[in-house]
Chain A
Amino acid sequence: MSDQTLLSVEHLSVELPHGGDRSHAVADVSLSVGRNEIVCLVGESGSGKSITAHAVLGLLPPSLEIGAGTIRFRGDDIAHADDDAMRGLRGGAISMIFQEPLSALNPLARVGDQIAEVILVHAAPRPSRAELDARVLELIAAVGLPEPATLVRSYPFQLSGGQRQRVMIAMAMANNPALLLADEPTTALDVTTQKQILALIRRLQAERGMGVLFITHDFGVVADIADRVVVMRNGRVVEQGSVDEVLRRPKDDYTKALIAAVPGSRPASTVDRKIEGEPLLDAHGLNKTFVTGQGLFRPDRTVVAVRDVALSLRPRETVAVVGESGSGKSTLGRIIMRLIEPDAGAIEFAGADFLELRGSQLRAMRRKVQIVFQDPFAALDPRQKVGDAIARGPMAYGAPPAEAMADARRLLARVGLEASAAGRYPHEFSGGQRQRICIARALALKPMVLVADEAVSALDVSVQAQILDLLAELREEMNLAMLFITHDLRVAAEIADRIVVMRHGEIVEQGDTKSVFTSPQHAYTRALLDAIPGRSLFAGPQAATAPNAMTA
């Protein structure tokens, strides 16, 4: 073992309790992290990547135990170290940052105190108050947070997601760790924030010569940050090597398939689908402001979710609404579904103002606009059989139950499930299969417009690619117009004919996919494009981007 190796995991196995779908959470995993390098551990959900990282810190859930193998940190075996020794390491020589910074921070303590606490736990002679404060301020400045003096006194809920993650990083950096474990630290963040956080981790790593074990599911992020890559599947390492070797010349079939499935690694949908004709759905002047009462003596809090939005959708057309969190894109989708009533505006749809419809007229029109939600686990009633979930819609419009059920079975087969799935409950299906069920449920009513609200965002990339393909086939078969709401420009590029970019409730740019990607007009669109992870590797949709746009 060379001096340069900081962490080495050898033949690590973690057994799962009996009755699971496999016997090991991770099996025979070997990997190493050297000083001054970033190793990316990449895999889909259930690949065992997080378990591996948690095993290093001795943070496995109580039902799991390290079965075999060694974990060496600076040469010492820590796989079976006692609690005292592990506590000395955690937050000291090895620290960790998590995916969701809001739940990883104590909501009732000031940010500065939380950082100071990490220092105090590991400081041998207790530093003086002044020293401690200086150290906290220095850390806050080092992670690029604004106005450190004010920030130390704020509470986590007063910060944005990116700022919270910076606080987490400051806490992780507090004791100058030799090794940083980062468990999907940017997954919950917007792309532009993700880009900043990745740059921050990169900078801190280079300044301090840290080793970083970075867990992610996103090959784009891997391409941006990694020196070396370890690919995991079903608890086993399938391939590892330098980032160039693995991403450009993958040897393993699974790695190849994963990389091919990364949205944006394929050419954009530049095929002209010959969309023409009068708009099928034409919304204009949409406004929605959310008002939250703050109690008797404080003014109400208002949030403008959608401001003066106009949007049209032609028959067969797919329009992607792209924006970061809080841009109002989901509110827009729900207004079009009539799940949220806008304050003002009109939606002309099939010859009537959809927003003016009430009662039975509304019900008659509802079936023509259907929605597929983001989270396939929340979108199906856990106590309703899949067949019922699909057939219930047509039955609500008077279809005879037997016929509706036969239709449901046919649709299930069409979306790639067995017709027998109709008799089973949602919990028996995987995320991708559930999303197929949701699509079948939406299509059972033979809609003219399908709203897909982040419909593939919660899925693993390989499943994501399959669902996108399915949607692309179905829109041709059923002549669907589709409103595709997403935060991911790469996904938008794959499926959309036209792209609408939203920010703070307003549309900042719209145009056909190709022109938005090749010559973005608005600075915000350029920033979004620029923040797509893995641009160096996956040229993808913006391959033809003009050089000046690249540097913007």
Chain B
Amino acid sequence: MERLKTFLRHPTGMIGLIILAAVVILAICAPALFPDDPWEMVAAPFQPPGSEDLPLGSDMLGRNVAAGIAYGARVSLTIGVASTLAALCIGVTIGAIAGYFGGKVDDLMMRITELFQTIPGFILAILLVATIGPTLTNVIISIGAVSWPPLARLTRAEFMRLRGREFVQAAVCQGQAPLMVALRHILPNAISPIIVTGSLTIATAILIESALSFMGLGDPNLMSWGLMIGASRTVIRQAWWMSVFPGVAILLTVLAINLVGEGLNDTLNPRIARKVRNA
């Protein structure tokens, strides 16, 4: 409760939360706001923003840009959250095993992690999507597969720090199984920095998804921000609104998530939290 209150008093964190809430509401209400399919050609092509029924204009096939942004929010948020969850599953598991057992297990896990870290994440994601095919699930898997190394390293560091703590040793002496010790004693005490990094990973995942769609490697059946920008890049001189509005949507969403993540960091990290309270 205390932490919630501190977060609510965090100015930039709150700004981020409000923007993010707006994007989430937009995504949820998309079918109500725009009953037509975003792929539907509802108007004449190349209509500038402010034309009748088209607050953000139409694209070169006469599709509603505003509807595209609303439906794109669903895709971006879904992929951002789902791929981060996937990355958390992989990263936390590998980091926890490495940090808890140490020694050779740790060496093995960290070499695998480093292998992934040395390959540029975006290129690996392109490779994966191109190989296994551009569907929503595959995009999520691909982004998750390139986003987990930082989470694994962070989890490992936290587990190593807590592993030697006396309350963890006391639990071992009580005869609790390693899995129980890790889940009940270490993870709850390590969760704060993982949440913070996880929230920032969502932002990165959204960017990777947009970039993939921009290159035409997104799910072709889903309207997404990256796809809209990618499709309209050739006409940017004549019809700026087709790429600028999805771009602003990406910017605002990623910025909002970063602000929330920073706010969470300040609230969940006790040392900085104290500074906020004194100020």
Residues of A within 8 A of B (CB): 62-63, 337, 339, 363, 366-367, 369-371, 373-375, 378-384, 392-393, 396-397, 438, 441-442, 445
Contacts and interface: CB of A to CB of B under 8 A. Distances in A.
A397 B175 contact: yes
Contacts of B168: 381
B173 A384 contact: no
Given A373-B166, A375-B166, A396-B180, A381 B175 contact: no
Contacts of A366: 173-175
Nearest to A367: B175
Nearest to A374: B166
Contacts of A378: 165-167
B173 A381 contact: no
A381 B174 contact: no
Nearest to B187: A383
B185 interface: yes
A127 B63 CA distance: 82
A438 B170 contact: yes
Interface string B164-205: 011111111111110010001100110000000000000000
Interface of B: 165-177, 180, 184-185, 188-189, 278
A444 to B, nearest CB: 8
Contacts of B167: 378-382
A392 B188 contact: no
Contacts of A438: 170
B189 A381 contact: yes
Query: Which secondary structure characterizes the binding site on chain B?
Result: helix
B171 A381 contact: yes
A232 B21 CA distance: 55
A337 B173 contact: yes
Given A363-B175, A366-B175, A373 B184 contact: no
A74 B63 CA distance: 87
The 9 closest A-B pairs by CB, nearest first: A393-B174, A379-B166, A373-B166, A381-B167, A378-B166, A396-B175, A366-B175, A383-B188, A396-B176
A441 B174 contact: yes
B89 to A, nearest CB: 22
A540 to B, nearest CB: 30
Given A381-B167, A384-B185, A339 B173 contact: yes
B164 to A, nearest CB: 10
Given A375-B166, A378-B166, A379-B166, A392 B189 contact: no
Contact of A396 (B170, B174, B188): B174
Given A369-B173, A370-B174, 13 more contacts: A339-B173, A370-B173, A371-B173, A373-B169, A373-B170, A375-B166, A378-B165, A382-B167, A382-B189, A393-B176, A396-B176, A397-B175, A441-B174
B170 A441 contact: yes
A124 B41 CA distance: 85
Contacts, number: 64
Nearest to A334: B169
Contacts of B175: 363, 366-367, 393, 396-397, 445
Interface centre among A366, A380, A382, A392 (most CB of B within 10 A): A392
B189 A371 contact: no
A379 B278 CA distance: 29
17 contacts: A62-B278, A337-B173, A363-B175, A371-B169, A371-B170, A380-B170, A382-B189, A392-B171, A392-B176, A392-B184, A393-B174, A393-B176, A396-B174, A396-B176, A396-B180, A442-B170, A445-B174
A379 to B, nearest CB: 4
Contacts of A396: 174-177, 180
Nearest to B180: A396
Contacts of B188: 381, 383
Contacts of B174: 366-367, 370, 392-393, 396, 441, 445
B110 to A, nearest CB: 14
Contacts of A375: 166
A155 B168 CA distance: 34
A383 B170 contact: no
Contacts of A383: 188-189
A130 to B, nearest CB: 45
A520 to B, nearest CB: 32
Contacts of A339: 169, 172-173
Interface centre among B168, B174, B278 (most CB of A within 10 A): B174
Contacts of B184: 384, 392
Contacts of B185: 381, 384
Nearest to A373: B166
B16 to A, nearest CB: 27
Contacts of A62: 278
A67 B184 CA distance: 46
B170 A379 contact: yes
A370 B177 CA distance: 16
A232 to B, nearest CB: 27
A396 B175 CA distance: 6
Contacts of A371: 169-170, 173
Contacts of A63: 278
A373 B170 CA distance: 8
A337 B172 CA distance: 10
A213 B176 CA distance: 50
A392 B171 CA distance: 8
Contacts of A393: 174-176
A135 to B, nearest CB: 39
A378 B185 CA distance: 12
B278 to A, nearest CB: 8
Contacts of B177: 396
